[in-house]
Each structure stands twice: as C-alpha cells, then as structure tokens.
C-alpha cells in the first residue's frame, strides 16, 4: 500500500473512493482540486500471473483493503468523517463486484459520519484529473481518454457538459498494450513496460493503422492481431522493434484522430487523460500536435493519470455543486454522457 499526504486541511473536503477495477484508491480533495492526502492498495502482483485482471480476486482484495486504505487517508489528512462535505465513490463503469464493494463501503461510512454520499462516473473522474493540484483546462476542450478499458474522444463545454464524438469499437488502446505485452512476455500491466522497451527499438515493422481516416471512432483489435501474427511468423524478431512499431501505430492513430477532431470542433485545450496518458511517447506527440495547432495541452500529473481516488473526489465536487440527485447503484457499462 502506498500513501501520500500534505498538511492537514482546513474547511470542506470530499473523500473519493475508487474501486472500479484492480486498485483500491482513496483520496481527500478540497474544492479547488488540491489533494490533501491519498492512499492506494495496488493489486498488480495479484493479477500478474493471469496477464490481466481476475475479477473475483479483485473483489476479494477490495474487501480486505478498503477500510485500511480509507483509515490511512483520513489519518494522513488529519480529518474526521464529520468534517467532510461528502463521500464520492465510483459507480461505474467497471467490474460489478469491485464496484459493489466500493459503493457499500462508501454508503456505510457516509451514514456513520452523517454526510452525503454521491456516485461518480469513473470516466468523468478521468476527465477531471487534469485539474488536480492546479486548474489547467480552458474551455471548450477536446478530450482524449485512453485507458485499459476505454478509448474515446469527447468535447467539453464545461466540466459537466460532455458530448461523445468517437469511441472504440472493440479493444481499447490500453487493452492492446496489455495483450501485446503478454505476447512479448513482458508481464502485467503492459503499458509502462511496452513504452520503455519501445524506446530502445526501431519502428521498422509496417503494422496497420486501423480506422485511420475513417471518422473519430477507434479500433485496436486488428492491430493487436497483426502483432500476434507477426510474432508467430518471426519468432527471432527483436522484441524492441515489435514494441516500437506497435507504439508508433497506436500513436499515429490517436494523434490523427485528435487532429481531425480539433479541426472539426475548435477548442482551446486538448485534454489527454487515462492510464495511457502516462506514456512519454503519447505526451510528446500530443505536445507536438498542440504546438502545431496553437492549442493548449492539458495533462494530469503522472501520479493522477492512472485510476485514483483524487479524480473521483474532484468529480464528486461537480455533483455536490450541481445539487442534483446522484445515483448510487453500480452500472458496469456506464457511458460517459451519463452523470
């Protein structure tokens, strides 16, 4: 379990709880997006042998870790439950068992502390991650969300006004990264190790660029299959070259779609969020694109790129400010357009 903290907060805070997949993440965030304290219980080692997340194992680990993780976060922040403005918790999308653990814990804690509880869309949490620690996003904004379960483009007029422009038709780019990592024997999670290996290789293999020039939707299953076929036919191929060529194909598609979206829907900011937003190659390519178009690039701090409780807390502040009822039922297939 890892934790981080700053000085104790004065004033209203929201406790954010994120258990949509394989990490138990909790954070205290103030109304300006300042992270007061945070803690994460990682499950990476539990799922490494499976090459991906094993849902039942994930749920059981959340049950074991959620209360200790909440306790650590509250103690590090020097905060009592009654000091909170609310408890915010991910209600979807995600693994049903993992979502239920988080929602039940949040509801019980909020009732015991006598504070409201709000359900948060995990995808909207990612959209807000770029404003953690300091406000970065200028509106209207174009958003590229790239994670283990999602790849999409959306337009934001403001934090709660979101229009989906395109999404993946099959595998997300993060899924493709994990599967290619498994093919190359690099372990799980695949994103960081594939990116690191790619830096030492050459973009010398002509992998396909799926859906390039075909609207704003994405597809990565064909690219994944092409890598699999290549490895089977070229067993002596340099892994670094395979990784570099795969990453280059992903980046070309992602950046081309962003360019098309920004030309069709002018924006002041390009916001790149989600676990894959931690990729140094993607960050560099997005900066080059924004420089060429005169658009501001907004990236979350690296520690807030992957799933975390802070982004859920900040999105929870949006819910509290709207004063609209927030659903608390788990929805594994929740869409980004849904609050």
pLDDT in tens, 36-62: 999 999 887 777 777 778 788 889 989
* CB contact set of 192 (below 8 Å; sequence gap of 6+): 278
In angstroms, rounded to a whole number, what is the distance separating the alpha carbons of residues 89 and 99? Answer: 9
In the chain, the domains with their CATH numbers are 2-128+304-322 (3.30.420.40), 137-298 (3.30.420.40)
In angstroms, rounded to a whole number, what is the distance separating the alpha carbons of residues 96 and 43? Answer: 17
Q: What pTM, to 2 d.p., does this model score?
A: 0.92
* Average pLDDT estimate for 163-174: 94
In angstroms, rounded to a whole number, what is the distance separating the alpha carbons of residues 176 and 207? Answer: 13
In angstroms, rounded to a whole number, what is the distance separating the alpha carbons of residues 120 and 260? Answer: 30
* Average pLDDT estimate for 160-173: 94
pLDDT in tens, 299-338: 999 999 999 999 999 999 998 988 776 679 999 999 998 8
SS3 content of the chain, % helix, strand, coil (to 5): 45, 20, 35
pLDDT band at 11 (very low <50, low <70, confident <90, very high): very low
In angstroms, rounded to a whole number, what is the distance separating the alpha carbons of residues 35 and 31? Answer: 10
Q: Is the pLDDT of residue 273 over 90?
A: yes
pLDDT in tens, 180-189: 999 999 987 7
């Amino acid at each position: 379990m890892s934790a981080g903290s700053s000085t104790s907060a004065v004033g209203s805070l929201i406790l954010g709880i994120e258990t949509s997949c394989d990490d138990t993440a909790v954070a205290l965030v103030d109304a300006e997006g300042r992270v007061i304290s945070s803690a994460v219980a990682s499950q990476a080692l539990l799922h490494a042998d499976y090459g991906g997340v094993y849902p039942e194992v994930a749920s059981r680990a959340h049950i074991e870790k959620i209360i200790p993780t909440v306790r650590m976060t509250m103690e590090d922040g020097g905060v009592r439950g009654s000091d909170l403005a609310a408890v915010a918790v991910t209600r979807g999308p995600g693994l049903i068992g993992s979502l239920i653990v988080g929602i039940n814990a949040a509801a019980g804690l909020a009732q015991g502390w006598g504070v409201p509880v709000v359900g948060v869309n995990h995808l909207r949490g990612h959209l807000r991650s770029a404003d953690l620690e300091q406000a970065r996003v200028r509106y209207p904004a174009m958003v590229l969300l790239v994670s283990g379960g999602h790849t999409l483009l959306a337009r934001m007029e403001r934090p709660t006004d979101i229009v989906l422009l395109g999404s993946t038709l099959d595998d997300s780019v993060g899924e493709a990264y994990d599967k290619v990592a498994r093919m190359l024997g690099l372990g799980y999670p695949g994103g960081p190790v594939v990116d690191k290996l790619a830096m030492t290789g050459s973009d010398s293999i002509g992998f396909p660029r799926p859906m390039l020039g075909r609207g704003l939707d994405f597809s990565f299953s064909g690219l994944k299959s092409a890598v699999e076929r290549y490895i089977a036919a070229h067993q002596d191929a340099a892994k670094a070259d395979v990784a570099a060529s795969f990453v280059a194909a992903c980046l070309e598609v992602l950046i081309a779609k962003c360019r098309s979206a920004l030309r069709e829907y002018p924006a002041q900011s390009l916001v790149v969020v989600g676990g894959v937003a931690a990729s140094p190659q993607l960050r560099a390519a997005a900066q080059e694109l924004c420089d060429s178009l005169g658009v501001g690039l907004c990236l979350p701090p690296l520690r807030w790129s992957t799933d975390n409780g802070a982004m859920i807390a900040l999105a929870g502040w949006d819910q509290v400010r709207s004063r609209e009822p927030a659903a608390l039922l788990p929805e594994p297939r929740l869409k980004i357009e849904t609050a």
